[in-house]
Amino acid sequence: MFSFHSLFSESAKQSFITFHLSLFILFLLPLHVSAQSHLAAEAEIINVGEILYQQPRTLSYRLINRGSQPTKITAVVPSCGCTQVKYPTATIAAGAAAELTAVYDARTLGTFQKEIEVYTDGASEPLYLTFQGRVVADASDYGGGFPVDMGTVKLSTAEVEFADVNMGDHPEANIMVLNNSRQTLRPQLMHLPTYLTATYHPEQLAAGRVGRISLKLNTERLLGYGLSQTTIHMARSLGDKVSDDNQIDVSAVLLPKMPKRTAEQMAAAPVLVTETDTLDFTELMQKRGRKLKQTFTIGNAGRQPLNIYTVQAFGHSATVKLSTRKLAPGAKAKLTVTIDRERLAKQKAQPRILLITDDPQQQKKILICKMKD
């Protein structure tokens, strides 16, 4: 009886099966690899708006490993030498997040669009990050808004935050000032702490003109690691007094230097876990009473003890208490947050809670207090 299989020898049949099995495996392999690790950005494109010539702008990208396996950034390539990039060198666990920071030198006038290529050990193609904006020659070219109205002057912001600075850094932040009066003014900041210095461009601001105040942070003069916050005030005229109307809030987060860890040490490192990243007070806000108190849970999902160096609240409306600062593997702690309703009414910014830990993936953790829908 005729048989199709009789046309082939046993060795030929074996080669035929092996060849097609290899093709099948090669077809599946790229799909399998891409499913293991996938680094994505929360926002791949950032518009920085208008920035002043030769005033570097710092921007941050939040990167998330959306795969099922750990991944590591192996190289970062900016599109030009105008951009300096800091990126995490430690392994990013599956589901974990990390931060990449870029500093653009703003030495070329006009519109710009820059790219950063991020290469990882789990993907054949890079992740492309983009930022864009416009560099203007001086303060008079500034076309942004002035949402803070202080009467004779208007400001671009009344909240200055120096985020994620290290000892030895000297970052700068700009406040744009519009002279809203009919006279020449000399804007001055009052009650600057020793770790802040201000320069004024120009020192005298003609009616209807825009100027710039540059605030410089001296990290060596900060009292310690964690959150430092202060209020300074804008003097709109000679003899101007301190009030809520001319207040500017300034904060700085100084991070301790983390030791380098091997892959084995990273695998055994402490891991901070939180019950939620948003502390919801909306229901309590519907009730009477000046103090609103809630308790949340944090824990350590790692294999080594977790140390929490700092627990602080941004602003003056929230106080925070932690049941313990050191958590054994698998242990939990109670985080109690109390909001003062009267102080909240005077606070411009949303309350936030800052945790600084020795978790290499989450050295800094910020919890948002949600006060209204």
| One domain for residues 243 and 160 | yes
| One domain for residues 68 and 132 | yes
Q: Is residue 1 domain-resident?
A: no
| One domain for residues 213 and 132 | no
| One domain for residues 143 and 119 | no
| One domain for residues 146 and 244 | yes
Q: Is residue 328 domain-resident?
A: yes
DSSP 257: P
Six-digit token string for 125 = 């193609």
State the number of CA atoms in the 13 A half-sphere of 20 facing the CB.
5
Residue 351 has a pLDDT of: 93
Q: Which of 327, 370, 331, 330 minimizes the C-alpha distance to 351? A: 370
- In degrees to the nearest 10, what's the CA dihedral of 359, 362, 367, 368? 180
Distance from C-alpha of 245 to C-alpha of 310, rounded to nearest angstrom: 31
Question: Is the model's pLDDT at 175 over the cut of 80?
Answer: yes
Residue 92 bridge partners (DSSP)? 71
| CATH code where residue 325 lies | 2.60.40.10
| One domain for residues 229 and 283 | no
Q: Is residue 21 domain-resident?
A: no
| One domain for residues 194 and 268 | no
Q: Is residue 231 domain-resident?
A: yes
| One domain for residues 157 and 193 | yes
φ, ψ dihedrals at 23, nearest 5°: -60, -40
Q: Is residue 20 domain-resident?
A: no
Distance from C-alpha of 51 to C-alpha of 61, rounded to nearest angstrom: 19
Q: How many domains does the chain have?
A: 3
| One domain for residues 199 and 118 | no
Question: Is the model's pLDDT at 19 over the cut of 50?
Answer: no
Share of the chain above pLDDT 90, in %: 57
Looking at 204, 225, 254, the residue that finishes a domain is: 254
Q: Is residue 17 domain-resident?
A: no
DSSP 351: P
Pairing of strands 45-52, 127-136: parallel
Please say whether the dihedral angle defined by the alpha carbons of residues 203, 47, 365 and 70, taken in this order, is positive or negative: negative
Residues whose CB falls within 8 Å of the CB of residue 26, separated by 6 or more in sequence, listed in order = none
Question: Is the model's pLDDT at 167 over the cut of 60?
Answer: yes
| One domain for residues 210 and 271 | no
| One domain for residues 157 and 232 | yes
Alpha helix ranges (H) inside 150-272: 263-267
Q: Which of 258, 260, 265 minimizes the C-alpha distance to 303? A: 265
CB atoms within 10 A of CB 181: 15
Q: Is residue 18 domain-resident?
A: no
Higher-pLDDT residue of 145, 120: 120
Residue 33 has a pLDDT of: 41
The CA–CA distances, whole Å, from 102 to 129, 161, 194, 215 equal: 10, 17, 28, 20
| Average pLDDT score, the chain | 86
Q: What is the pLDDT of residues 183-192, one digit of tens each?
A: 999 999 999 9
Q: Is residue 246 domain-resident?
A: yes
Question: Is the model's pLDDT at 240 over the cut of 60?
Answer: yes
Are the C-beta atoms of 50 and 144 separated by less than 8 Å?
yes
| Global pTM value | 0.65
Are the C-beta atoms of 150 and 62 separated by less than 8 Å?
no
| One domain for residues 278 and 209 | no
Six-digit token string for 188 = 């001055």
Q: What's the domain range around 347?
A: 263-370
Q: What is the pLDDT of residues 84-133, one digit of tens each?
A: 999 988 889 888 888 999 999 988 888 999 999 999 998 889 999 999 99
Radius of gyration in angstroms for the set of CA atoms belonging to the chain, rounded to a whole number: 27
Q: What is the pLDDT of residues 307-326, one digit of tens each?
A: 999 999 999 999 999 999 99
Question: Is the model's pLDDT at 79 over the cut of 50?
Answer: yes
Looking at 254, 278, 307, the residue that finishes a domain is: 254
Distance from C-alpha of 366 to C-alpha of 353, rounded to nearest angstrom: 6
Higher-pLDDT residue of 36, 235: 235
Q: Binning pLDDT at 50, 70 and 90, where does residue 336 land?
A: very high
Residues whose CB falls within 8 Å of the CB of residue 136, separated by 6 or more in sequence, listed in order = 50, 51, 52, 53, 109, 142, 143
Looking at 236, 254, 272, the residue that finishes a domain is: 254
